[in-house]
Amino acid sequence: MELGIIGLSKSGKTTVFNALTRGHSQALAKGRTPKASVGIAKVPDLRLTTLVEMFVPERVVEAEVSYTDIPSAPEGLGKSSSIGGEYLGALQRVDALIHVTRDFDNPSVPHIESSVDPYRDVETMDLELAISDLAILERRADRLATEFKGARAQERERIRVETQLIERLKDALAKGTPVRQQELSDEDRRMIRGYQFLTAKPFLILFNVDESKLAQMPSIEEEMSHRLEAPLVGCAAVCGSLEAELVQMDKAEELEFRQSLAAGESGASKVVQLSYGLVGLSTFFTVGQDEVKAWSIPVDISAAKAAGTIHSDIERGFIRAEVIAYQTLIECGSLTEARRRGVLRAEGRNYSVQDGDVINFLFNV
C-alpha cells in the first residue's frame, strides 16, 4: 500500500511523516528545491506478534506500507496554484491520500493564514485537489475536440460519450463534489480509469494537535467524524510532535511513556488501520517454523488470487487452501490441535479470504 501525505505549509506534515516512518526528514529550508520524501514502515499487527510466539520462526516478515511526503508547492499550495508536474505524478501513483491539517498553536511558526482553523484548511485542500482534477478534464476535453475533427462516425460516438461524461464530472467538481462521491456507472469508471483523479482516491484527514489537546482527542475525533466523514473519507487526530519523539525510543520505553501520558494507541497504528479500511485491504498470514509472514490483500479476494500474491506458480498450480481463522487458531494453541478438533478447513480456489485467516496453500506445478 502506498500513501501520499499532503498538507499546507507549516502544517507539521513532515513531522507526521517522520512519526509514521521512524524517519528523520527535515522540513524544507526557505529557498531550497522541494523534493518528495519516501519512507517504508512496518505495519503494526499484534496478531503477528502472537503467531511468532506460537511458532518461534527463524524469520518474521511484517506487511509494509510506503509513505510519500509531498512538499507544499513553492508558490504556496492553498492559493489556487494547483498541483502539477512531479507532485501530481507522485500523488497519482499512491493508493490513498493523507491530508495533515494543522490544529496546534505555535507563535514561532505562524500559520500561513495567520490563524489556526483546521476545517478551513480542509476546505482549502479540497479546492486544490478539485482544481487539479478540473485541469486534467480540461486537457482531456481539448484533446477529444481535436480527435473529433478527423474521427470516423463510430469513433465520433465514443468521443461524444466521453465528452458528455467529462462535462458531468466538471459540473459536479465545480459544485464541490469530489469524483469519489459522484454517481458513476461501471462503464463510466472504466472510461476514466486512466485519468488518475486525485479526488477519486480514498482520503484520510489527520488533525495534527499539540500535547495540550491529548485529553481532548476523542472529542476532536467525534466532531471530525460528524463534520468530515463521507464515503472513502476517514478522519483522526494525532499529535505529530509527540509521536515523532516516541517512535525514536525502544518499544518498552515507548509503551511506558505512552501510558504515562495517556496517549492511547500509536499514531502509526491508527493511520494504518484507517488506511487499510479506506483502501479496502485485509491481512492473511502464512506460518511455520521457517517463517511467519503477514500479507496485505484486497478485501474479499479469492484464495487462488491470494496465493498469487505469494508466487504466480502457487496460483497457477492451486489445489486447495488449508484455512483457519486467527482467533480459532489461538484458542486451539497449535495447528496440531486444530487438526485434531477438525477446525482446519479445506477451501477451494474461489473461497473468499477473510481478514486474519491463517492459510497453507497446496499446489502442484
285-334 pLDDT, tens digit each: 999 999 999 999 999 999 999 999 999 999 999 999 999 999 999 999 99
Residue owning grid cell 502464512 = 286
Q: What is the CA radius of gyration of the chain?
A: 23
Confidence of residue 77 (pLDDT cuts 50, 70, 90): low
Apex CA 358: angle with CA 357 and CA 363, to 5°? Answer: 110
At the topology level, CATH places domain 300-363 in Ubiquitin-like (UB roll) (3.10.20)
Confidence of residue 173 (pLDDT cuts 50, 70, 90): very high
Contact 299, 280 (CB under 8 A): yes
Going from N- to C-terminal start, the domains of the chain cover 2-46+59-114+201-279, 129-195, 300-363
Q: Give the alpha-carbon dihedral of 316, 319, 325, 330, to 10 degrees.
A: -110
Residue 259 has pLDDT above 90, yes or no: no
Quick one: average pLDDT of 218-232?
94
Residue owning grid cell 492459510 = 359
List Cβ neighbours of 338 (8 Å cut-off, separation of 6 or more). Answer: 324, 328, 329, 332, 344
Domains 2-46+59-114+201-279 and 300-363 share a fold: no
Classify domain 2-46+59-114+201-279 at the CATH superfamily level.
P-loop containing nucleotide triphosphate hydrolases (3.40.50.300)
At the topology level, CATH places domain 129-195 in DNA polymerase; domain 1 (1.10.150)
List Cβ neighbours of 58 (8 Å cut-off, separation of 6 or more). Answer: 289, 290, 291
Q: Is the dihedral of CA 277, 278, 284, 289 positive or negative?
A: negative
C-alpha cell at 242: 509527540
Greater confidence, 82 or 49? 49
State how far the Cα of 329 lies from the Cα of 339, in Å rounded to an integer: 10
State how far the Cα of 256 lies from the Cα of 350, in Å rounded to an integer: 45
C-alpha cell at 362: 497446496
